[in-house]
Amino acid sequence: MSNPIDTKLAEFKQDALTVKMMSTLFNVVPFTPEFQYYADLEGAVNRLGGNLDKARELANGEDVANAIKIAGYLDTSDKLIAGYAGVKNIISFFGGSSAEKKATFESDPQQALDAALKAAALSYLIYILYPGSIQEKVTAFRETPAGMEAAVYYALVEVALPFSDNLVDSGGNLISRLINSKDSEMASQFQKFIPGEAFTQATQVLSGLTEPLNGYLEQAKAYTNPFAEKVKGYLPSGMNVADSATGLAATGADLMPAWNLLGARLAAEAIALRSKA
């Protein structure tokens, strides 16, 4: 019987642009685990160990279905501000429509709010997927390969690329500054796509996640150019760096729905860990 993890992972074939982008990222950034492609929950269990039968049972839980749904919001949901943000950030980095502006969250407050909301949403995924105390949840996330994948992708693509001018003088705490600058707006915006007590739960995790995210950003920022150059090389033929994500959408191209993939892998590996208990 299929489960939400298998259904979502099956959407990503090994030659999909999204998968190629992840493989590129984790080949370029040397401190990350080797990217292992898998197309189902069994692949995650093989990667981490665990009991496959128990994992399949856990994968049909409401928490997993919610996590897959929320991760999907982070790519193209109109409830967030910047649909297709990842590919927009890559295109803009090489001379797209926002290239003439300063690349700071002060000059692009909507993009900054989007990035802050994604940090909160990632924190909520950690809250619902991993067991234990808040500290145990954050620790398990950091020790899961898919957790590091999500954290490094966030640091590099959602923060380093769009806010490269901030990065120069960040003093090692750019993500903390970003979150603090949007603190007054985050709750109301977050509740538009995840209502109820979710924001309170997310902020509990975010308080313990921000420092590690700052650390990943400091480690990864030197690889911004090499990563973006490689990704640019396999954007669909006929598209150039001045083209918009809207133009890419019009071609029917894979728009690199990274959070759909990252969220499914995070859920798969969290379930694999839980199946060991």
Domain boundaries, the chain: 4-274
Q: What percent of the chain has pLDDT over 90?
A: 56
| Structure tokens, 165 | 């001018």
pLDDT at 246: 47
pLDDT at 251: 45
Binning pLDDT at 50, 70 and 90, where does residue 86 land? low
More confident residue, 148 or 251: 148
Cα three-residue angle 7-20-150, rounded to 5 degrees: 65
Report d(CA 269, CA 275) in Å as an integer: 10
- Is the per-residue pLDDT at 162 higher than 80? yes
In sequence order, the 6+-apart residues with CB closer than 8 A to the CB of 2 are none
Binning pLDDT at 50, 70 and 90, where does residue 253 land? very low
Binning pLDDT at 50, 70 and 90, where does residue 99 land? very low
For residue 161, give the DSSP letter.
Answer: T
Nearest to 68 by CA among 150, 6, 143, 153: 6
For residue 103, give Cα distances in angstroms to 41, 76, 240: 39, 22, 20
* Most confident segment among 59-63, 95-99, 172-176, 254-258: 59-63
Q: What are the percentages of helix, strand and coil residues in the chain, rounded to 5?
A: 65, 0, 35
- Is the per-residue pLDDT at 260 higher than 80? yes
- Is the per-residue pLDDT at 98 higher than 50? no
Report d(CA 205, CA 123) in Å as an integer: 5
In tens, the pLDDT along 176-220 reads 999 999 999 999 989 888 888 999 999 999 999 999 999 999 999
In tens, the pLDDT along 103-121 reads 788 778 888 888 999 999 9
pLDDT at 166: 84
Binning pLDDT at 50, 70 and 90, where does residue 236 land? low
* Lowest pLDDT segment from 175-179, 239-243, 272-276: 239-243
More confident residue, 11 or 94: 11
pLDDT at 179: 94
| Structure tokens, 163 | 């806010």
For residue 175, give Cα distances in angstroms to 187, 206, 217, 221, 261: 17, 11, 8, 12, 23
- Is the per-residue pLDDT at 30 higher than 80? yes
Nearest to 71 by CA among 150, 159, 141: 150
